[in-house]
Amino acid sequence: MSDYAVVNPATGETLAEYDTLTDAGVQDAIASAHDAYRAWSRTAPADRAAALRRVAELHRERRDDLAAIIVREMGKPLAAAEGEVDFAADITEYYADNIDKITGDTPLDILAEGTAVIRRSPLGVLLGIMPWNFPYYQVARFAAPNLAVGNTILLKHAPQCPESAEALQTIYRDAGLPEGAYVNIRATNDQAATIIADPRVQGVSVTGSERAGSAVAALAGQHLKKVALELGGSDPFILLSTDDLDAAVQAAVDARLDNNGQSCNAAKRFIVADDLYDGFLAKFTAALGEAKVGDPFAEDTVLGPLSSLAAAERLDEQVQRAVAQGATVEVGGKRDGAFYPGTVLTGVTKDMDAYGEEFFGPVGTVYRVSSEEEAIEIANGTGYGLGSYVFTTDAEQAQRIADRIEAGMVYVNVVLADSPELPFGGVKRSGTSREMGLLAADEFVNKKLIRSA
């Protein structure tokens, strides 16, 4: 079987296979993107914005087909797939709407006579290495800001997402971008290394695992290329006080089960004040246990299959290892092929692997704490630092905790609140950069100083 194939995780059926690029094809792709850069970087920002706005429109026009593709590719429930297409369109449109802010000069106050500005210029060809969990959203938040500033894109999607990758390339072509501005490449890892080393390629962005990020960062450093990393997360959900426990539990459930639990910034560790713990655990366990597992095309399905049989097997191994080390399964924990039910673990301690691991699936660990200080200690007790969630009725407490949490994002009394204008990214083992918002457009540009007398 080809490395690039659509294997429906719900059935195990191989639906389509795609050839990987030849080495000559890799060189052609780089040349095409490099040639396109010469014209695209000099295209008027308003014209680049118009093309991106058409990309957003085509996402919406082709919504049904696009959504069905990723349900087949990685098991996302249909409603979530449709929502992802909409979000990708919104992100792309955001950069079209804000093209002047992205490309305009920034005046500087200087100490001497004359003027000085920062002018943002594109760098050139960029390589994006994308994951399977959000086949459209992840691409939009990398491609849209970089195309807006005038860079061109080589896009290596996950091998299990070749159909959605082809659909995206068709959209960018049909939107009127020049040939080579956005090029889908079905490359091997060795070919990706060749691309990173090529002097015509100026940077690389990776969204994926720590292992992948580390390998790419090492290559990028070797060749003095700018690198952006968006990696894993084990986000804490801290609940210290609430006027509505049911609403807090529902927020926790939503934050854990989104995208079949396969989201880097999903809440994964639930840290609950002692006086709320028993009630929270009972309600949270019941809700996860009742989350319907089934056909991702069915309207009432909450959890489709994980992205692959291998992914479900990895998650199951983690849970079984946690149990062997002393954790308790409150509900779930029994794999059925690629399907994995909502699962709750308690009794996880610092000496267990589960304390610092990321569970990439619908598994939540629940901790009891007796103080704000203990909550912060557990929240920061992992090598990850992507997102975090704080639920409290005390506004001052929320700000104290937000200040002390080691994470790139803190959401207070709200979940699933990502938006195109909000920067996304982490610290520690979760990455080094920001995507979305205006900050994303600053990752791969030359912030050129122009000083005039």
pLDDT value of residue 404:
98
Same domain, yes or no, for 217 and 257?
Answer: no
| H helix or E strand, kind and range, residue 351 | none
Structure-block tokens of residue 27:
């060189």
State the Cα–Cα distance between residues 370 and 303, nearest whole angstrom. Answer: 33
State the Cα–Cα distance between residues 232 and 381, nearest whole angstrom. Answer: 15
What is the bridge-based pairing of β-strands 328-331 and 343-346? antiparallel
State the Cα–Cα distance between residues 96 and 102, nearest whole angstrom. Answer: 9
Same domain, yes or no, for 257 and 123?
Answer: no
Note down the domain range covering 64. 4-231+431-452
Structure-block tokens of residue 85:
């297409």
Virtual torsion, Cα 145, 148, 152, 154, nearest 10 deg: 30
pTM of this structure: 0.95
Residue 29 lies in a domain: yes
Same domain, yes or no, for 249 and 386?
Answer: yes
pLDDT digits 0-9 by tens, 215-242: 999 999 999 999 999 999 999 999 999 9
Q: CA angle, 323 as apex, 291 and 285 as ends, to 5°?
A: 25
User: Is 230 noted as a catalytic residue in this protein?
Assistant: yes
Same domain, yes or no, for 63 and 197?
Answer: yes
User: Is 161 noted as a catalytic residue in this protein?
Assistant: no
Same domain, yes or no, for 48 and 157?
Answer: yes
- 342: domain CATH number? 3.40.309.10
State the Cα–Cα distance between residues 70 and 160, nearest whole angstrom. Answer: 10
Same domain, yes or no, for 290 and 168?
Answer: no
Among the listed residues 73, 264, 406, 443, the single catalytic one is 264
Contact 74, 9 (CB under 8 A): yes
Give the DSSP letter string of 6-70.
EE-TTT--EEEEEPPPPHHHHHHHHHHHHHHHHHHTTS-HHHHHHHHHHHHHHHHHTHHHHHHHH
What is the bridge-based pairing of β-strands 152-156 and 125-129? parallel
Same domain, yes or no, for 326 and 250?
Answer: yes
- pLDDT averaged per 10 residues in sequence order, the chain, 453 residues: 88 96 97 98 97 98 98 96 98 98 95 95 98 97 98 97 98 97 97 97 95 93 96 97 98 97 97 98 98 96 96 98 98 97 98 96 98 98 97 98 98 97 97 95 96 95
Residue 89 lies in a domain: yes
Among the listed residues 230, 358, 406, 435, the single catalytic one is 230
pLDDT value of residue 263:
96
pLDDT value of residue 70:
98
Same domain, yes or no, for 197 and 264?
Answer: no
How many domains is the chain built from?
2
Same domain, yes or no, for 259 and 313?
Answer: yes
